[in-house]
Chain A
Amino acid sequence: DTAVSQTPKYLVTQMGNDKSIKCEQNLGHDTMYWYKQDSKKFLKIMFSYNNKELIINETVPNRFSPKSPDKAHLNLHINSLELGDSAVYFCASSQDRGLAGLGVPFFGPGTRLTVL
């Protein structure tokens, strides 16, 4: 069984379009994340959600809007796609216990977005 799954695996679209990437985790974790890996393989946190609530929003354009319908899902919607949005987007989840400690983050397989 896949722990963290993402769809689609590949997404090719034109500039200016709006697209969504879906993420689901079946680990019962209460925290989910979106990371972006650029063409140089650099990985950076974009968003973090804890129990459906946005906790971290790094310097990400407003065109990116995460949505968490429930704690097992964290979707990423991107408006008005630009060439620079081309990257691999990774979803992850972990069980955070606040001051009691953290859980190991598990990553999804990634979604390769190509904007033409």
Chain B
Amino acid sequence: GEDVEQSLFLSVREGDSSVINCTYTDSSSTYLYWYKQEPGAGLQLLTYIFSNMDMKQDQRLTVLLNKKDKHLSLRIADTQTGDSAIYFCAESIFHSGNTPLVFGKGTRLSVIA
């Protein structure tokens, strides 16, 4: 079955880089996503990567995908206090023509000023 694993907590100092890691099990994953959820808020799509890519960069965000090891990471450069949130890794599984997401349990990022 599908499973997505993330560490639950990460604490970094303001200005440092944050690296949030994720592993997944389903090799038929097509897209892999990172969502951000601030307290009391909904899910904000940060970025996504197609499974045939190794890396994607978008401003302060860098996504690295190691398909062989089924490992995905999100790097946030120059982390700010506004980056404090829960970050969810999710994989998209082809299922009867639909693509529901399987989410990890989320990594709570705390940024210390």
Binding site for B on A (CB under 8 A): 31, 33, 35, 40-45, 48, 50, 55-56, 90, 94, 96, 98, 101-110
Minimum CB–CB distance from B99 to chain A (whole Å) comes to 4
Q: Are B97 and A98 in contact (CB under 8 A)?
A: yes
Q: Are B99 and A96 in contact (CB under 8 A)?
A: yes
Partner of B105, one of A40, A90, A104: A40
Across-interface contacts of A109 in B (CB, < 8 A): 41-42
Across-interface contacts of B48 in A (CB, < 8 A): 104
Binds A, one of B55-63, B76-84, B88-96: B88-96
Across-interface contacts of A45 in B (CB, < 8 A): 100-102
Closest 3 CB pairs of A and B: A102-B99, A43-B103, A45-B100
The B contact surface, by secondary structure, is strand
How many cross-chain pairs have Cβ atoms below 8 Å apart between A and B?
67
Contact indicator per residue, chain B 4-22, by CB within 8 Å of chain A (1) or not (0): 0000000000000000000
B42, B96, B102, B103 interface centre (most CB from chain A within 10 Å): B42
Across-interface contacts of B66 in A (CB, < 8 A): none
Residue of B nearest to A91 (CB): B42
Q: Are A41 and B106 in contact (CB under 8 A)?
A: yes
Q: Which of B29-70 contact A (CB under 8 A)?
A: 30-31, 33, 35, 37, 41-43, 45, 48
